[in-house]
């Protein structure tokens, strides 16, 4: 005799609130100052470096990442909580020469360094016609 029907044993174990799994929480970030730079650390566990893109446009740093599902055809999942798909997050950091922004990825953490001071154009003299 079964006390709990087999189909319901895992559905009643809703340990995680699904609202926790949104784009913002998928890319938990810390930003801090170090020397003359800002350092941004973004958690991207379980991703390969080639599945992460960083774009810089009009002062916005846009980070996007994707992870494909590795569903096996013969597997019948009881509960599936790991995220698969594409997600994006953007940060306004100001106008910089894009060569001043450096990024590295190690052990599931993306680290981005960019200068504290905005890139300033050198003074130029304007000729009067």
Nearest Cα neighbor of 81 from 17, 25, 27 is 17
Host domain of residue 33? 17-69+81-115
pLDDT above 50: residue 14? no
2 within a domain of the structure (yes/no): no
User: Phi first, then psi: what are they for 110, rounded to 5°?
Assistant: -90, 125
7 within a domain of the structure (yes/no): no
Please state the separation of Cα 84 from the chain's center in Å.
13
> By percentage, how much of the chain surpasses pLDDT 70?
67
Task: Compute the average pLDDT of residues 63-91.
Answer: 81
99 within a domain of the structure (yes/no): yes
> Distance between CA atoms of 95 and 57, rounded to whole angstroms?
9
Total domain count, the chain: 1
pLDDT above 70: residue 7? no
Q: What is the CATH number of the domain that holds 37?
A: 2.60.40.790
CA distances (Å), origin 73, targets 69, 76, 77: 12, 8, 11
Tally of CA atoms within 13 A in the half-sphere of 119 that contains its CB: 11
29 within a domain of the structure (yes/no): yes
pLDDT of 94-126, one tens digit each? Answer: 888 888 899 999 999 999 999 987 655 545 545
92 within a domain of the structure (yes/no): yes
Task: Compute the average pLDDT of residues 3-29.
Answer: 51
pTM score: 0.68
Give the model's confidence band at 40: pLDDT under 50 very low, under 70 low, under 90 confident, else very high.
Answer: very high
129 within a domain of the structure (yes/no): no
8 within a domain of the structure (yes/no): no
123 within a domain of the structure (yes/no): no
> Distance between CA atoms of 10 and 128, rounded to whole angstroms?
78
């Amino acid at each position: 005799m079964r006390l709990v029907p087999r189909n319901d044993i895992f559905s009643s174990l809703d340990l995680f609130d699904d609202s926790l799994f949104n784009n913002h929480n998928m890319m938990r970030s810390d930003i801090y100052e170090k020397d003359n730079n800002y350092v941004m650390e973004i958690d991207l566990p379980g991703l390969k470096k080639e599945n992460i893109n960083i774009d810089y446009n009009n002062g916005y740093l846009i980070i996007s990442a994707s992870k494909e599902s590795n569903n096996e055809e013969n597997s019948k999942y009881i509960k599936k909580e790991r995220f698969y798909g594409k997600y994006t997050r953007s940060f306004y950091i100001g106008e910089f020469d894009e060569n001043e922004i450096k990024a590295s990825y190690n052990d599931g953490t993306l680290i981005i360094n960019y200068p504290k001071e905005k890139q300033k154009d050198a003074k130029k003299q304007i000729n009067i016609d």
